[in-house]
Chain A
């Protein structure tokens, strides 16, 4: 981008005219965005403050912050917030992020066939539709599933993982499915590190771990931030995977906020309340993002 303005030659048009010619082509897109993107969001924000129901109600009315008060007094909601945090930290921050980085780092040194094979497998998990992935992992974890078959063969005790450790089972499923994304981000970032720098460090006698800690990680810091933000937001809104595997059960032990919202809005028909929960989920997402942005800024 640098230097582009200087390259422009010839008579310079009036600034206002220049702005107009630049902005004009964007107008239709902006109008469409406002209409179809901002519109529904604003409508959602509005109904979060009403007692709108999908059925069983003749008229809805404005009730102010009542839905939010209900939420914070509702044990099931607080449980869902807690599980959402566990799910996000375990599956996105710890799982997808570190595993993605490790795979990317290992693949830098791997031979081409290995790289293609591993990359292919990991990306396949990512390309699969959420629901299909959910069914695959349901089949893997269920009592008569693959995992137990393997454990049984090793003479280890088996159990119904979806019942005993539901939140970890769905977290693992999300790691399985989402690692490819982090791996791709980090592969791209690692490729951009100039060879001379690592080579120089190697000559200076820095081992693998020190190179990683002092050179690689600082140099891909921006990618780490972006990756964390993207996978966090992605993970916060995971619905299909958990729905297919456990429906949030047993007894709400894997009911994250999107599932809680779905149950309130569409199974109990409380659209107003469900939307209020959606707004709160949005707040959780913004908090995470704010933290990442802050981290990125201080390290620059």
Chain B
């Protein structure tokens, strides 16, 4: 609220009313509608536009598909509705749009992180009938097909690629520290030892970055914590199920040793000052700084991060750094003690889904078909540094050679994990970030943080928890 003309005798009641409106306004669920559905010949496509004005990868790609679609389907029109927001705010906006037929688009870009949650809310339409008649669906790899499969066994989205995660390291720093240029750590200890060596021999750089805490959000959970957790002894033992969620009892796991081990790794990184200064690690802009400043300026030794980083360094992206492939090396994240299968990766990705309240679902699926032809899919993976989920594209040498690093990250798909993306997951993820944050700052010991997590977990999942 910004009052305009101050006047001593202004009615206090009216002021209160104005204040009340200002305070409660964020809670109101009225999203501005742009009246979808009135025109049966127009398909409305909502997507996430980069918050960086210089990054236009998706806009360019969709504009091209729109042209193809309108040419192949005379009389039909495509209306692109970009939503410009950071991840967490994008989800919120989309969910608000999906609540009403007035605002629901015909096609929406959904993160696999939240898709199950949105399915439970009844926001999305099952696509099985469409997929059964679509030849290209057979080209999608099986793990990707399950990315948008709900607990009811139906599929609600078509993935447009995936991602994997690993260790990026600065070759020049490694050389100064006397570490090998073809570094491939076998255990967590190898990673920490390399960081300790860097700290000793190249003191003016940050040895190792592991995202942590609430400000980094899902990056802390997925690039940081889960890359550790899914490589712990308990998670890789024969017959082990997901370390966070037990499929059989449909409950979340509390009190596991793996959870504590992963937290201990995070604690070690920050306690031994192997990571960024704690205050920098908890800066909300840390991931932007890693990509934009720390790595390109040679100030970071090892970075545990995702396959998409080069997207920011491509020509035309505004932060061009084509030499990155000579300056940086890539290594798979090892398991805790080098136990089989030896390496860990996490995968997520985004899918195209049709809202339950979409006015033109048939047309929307047609648009997916156009977007996901082999040629278009390949164009898209290359443009956004994505990892192929189509077998025909993955086998195409033109794709594998399009960019350094693609082959490395595509190979990780064989040892990758998906998050238990059930409706409670976003809250569980926040609880993980809080646990990480408290050991990072030293406010809590690993045991205390793990205990707090168990309590938070109960609250977040309505007591659907099993103790191990």
Binding site for B on A (CB under 8 A): 37, 40-41, 43-44, 47, 53-58, 142-143, 160, 162-164, 181, 184-185, 188-189, 222-223, 225-227, 229-230, 233-234, 236-237, 239, 246-247, 249-251, 258, 261-262, 265-269, 271, 274-275, 278-279, 281-282, 285-286, 289, 293
Contact = CB atoms under 8 A, between A and B. Distances in A.
Nearest to A59: B122
A12 to B, nearest CB: 28
Contact of A250 (B2, B15, B91, B279): B279
B277 A56 contact: no
A163 B10 CA distance: 41
6 contacts: A40-B21, A44-B27, A185-B6, A230-B6, A251-B214, A282-B23
**Size band of the interface chain B makes with A:** 35 or more
B23 A236 contact: yes
Contacts of B24: 40-41, 44, 275, 278-279, 282
Contacts of B16: 285-286, 289
A269 to B, nearest CB: 7
Contacts of B437: 250-251
Contact of B8 (A222, A268, A282): A222
Contacts of B95: 54-55, 269
Interface in B28-54: 28-30
Most-contacted residue by chain A among B19, B213, B282 (CB, 10 A):
B19
Contacts of A233: 1, 15, 19, 22
Most-contacted residue by chain B among A41, A162, A184, A262 (CB, 10 A):
A41
A244 B121 CA distance: 31
A265 B22 CA distance: 16
Contact of B27 (A189, A247, A278): A278
B284 A249 contact: yes
Given A188-B6, A233-B1, A281-B23, A143 B280 contact: yes
Given A55-B121, A250-B437, A285-B16, A37 B21 contact: yes
A55 B437 CA distance: 26
Interface of B: 1-3, 6-10, 12, 15-17, 19-30, 88-89, 91-92, 95-96, 114, 117-118, 120-123, 213-215, 277-280, 282-284, 423-424, 426-427, 430, 437-438, 441, 443
A229 B3 CA distance: 11
Contacts of A265: 26-27
Given A162-B279, A265-B27, A249 B213 contact: yes
Nearest to A255: B214
Contacts of A41: 20-21, 24
Main secondary structure of the interface of B (DSSP, over half): helix
Nearest to A45: B24
B115 to A, nearest CB: 10
Given A237-B1, A249-B213, A275 B441 contact: no
A275 B427 contact: no
A10 B395 CA distance: 96
Contacts of B1: 233-234, 237
Contacts of B19: 233, 236-237, 282, 285, 289
A160 B215 contact: no
B3 A234 contact: yes
B268 to A, nearest CB: 20
Nearest to B88: A267
B12 A293 contact: yes
A58 B283 CA distance: 36
A247 B284 contact: yes
A266 B90 CA distance: 10
B88 to A, nearest CB: 6
Nearest to B427: A268
A270 to B, nearest CB: 9
Given A58-B121, A268-B430, A278-B23, A234 B438 contact: no
B23 A55 contact: no
Given A225-B8, A249-B215, A250-B278, 6 more contacts: A41-B21, A56-B426, A142-B283, A143-B279, A185-B6, A269-B426
A73 to B, nearest CB: 10
Contact of B23 (A162, A227, A237, A250): A237
Contact of B22 (A47, A237, A271): A237
Contacts of B121: 53-58
